[in-house]
Amino acid sequence: MGGTFDPIHHGHLVAASEVQAWFDLDEVVFVPTGDPWQKSDRPVSPAEDRYLMTVIATAANPRFNVSRVDIDRRGPTYTIDTLRDLRAAMPDAELYFITGADALAEIFTWRDADELFELARFVGCTRPGYTMDAATLGSIPSDRVTMVEIPALAISSTDCRARKQRGEPVWYLVPDGVVQYLAKHDLYPSKDQQ
């Protein structure tokens, strides 16, 4: 599961857990982006902070792991590189790339989009407020994509950052350890603190 995870929240974790169970996956590898080029219109927290929050959030689940492939690669993060790196590290694995419906809807804007489906199967999780348009879904080879309905959690990293900046709680939207990490490292400080 790729994501910017700025910060990781329970929407990500539920999606990963549901897809792991649905396909009986051996493990879900969370891959924080290095440089998410389609988010260049806003500041993104340092990759090491996003990586560490992802490790904290996933530590208790024996089927969850975190990969550094995207944060250790220089330049913009492209999923085609993520999948090639994971394939090189795990040549015998069958790869499933987990996304939310919003990200999957944009997949034909990604680098080398047509090649992506040769490297992995894609899983699109339902997400409140987003629908997957039939034309985009129909353009993906049908044996390489599955939509999975997951329990609806209307949580976004954008909302978590805005809440923290307004001094509002993010308890129960993100794991407790992430709440503590945000406080300790003063991520998304309130506007009057800046």
Ligand X SMILES: Nc1ncnc2c1ncn2[C@@H]1O[C@H](COP(=O)(O)OP(=O)(O)OP(=O)(O)O)[C@@H](O)[C@H]1O
For ligand X, give the closer residue by CB, 11 or 34.
Answer: 11
What is the torsional sign of CA 105, 108, 109, 112?
Answer: positive
The binder of ligand X chosen from 47, 68, 74, 103 (CB under 6 A): 103
Smallest gap from residue 106 Cβ to ligand X (A): 9
The binder of ligand NCN chosen from 2, 11, 124, 175 (CB under 6 A): 2
The binder of ligand X chosen from 157, 164, 173, 188 (CB under 6 A): 157
Q: What is the distance between the alpha carbons of residues 95 and 132, in angstroms, rounded to a whole number?
A: 22
User: What are the residues whose beta carbons fall under 8 Å from the beta carbon of 175, sequence distance 6 or more?
Assistant: 8, 10, 13, 56, 57
Site for ligand NCN in 29-48 (CB under 6 A): 31, 33, 36, 38-39
Which residues are 30's β-sheet partners?
66
User: What is the contact mask toward ligand NCN in residues 51 to 90, using x (rule: CB under 6 A)?
Assistant: --------------------------xxxx----------
Q: With 0-12 CB in 10 A as exposed, 13-18 as middle and 19+ as buried, what is 73? A: middle
Q: What is the distance between the alpha carbons of residues 116 and 137, in angstroms, rounded to a whole number?
A: 14
Residues forming contacts to ligand NCN in the complex (CB under 6 A) are: 2-4, 31, 33, 36, 38-39, 77-80, 103, 110-111
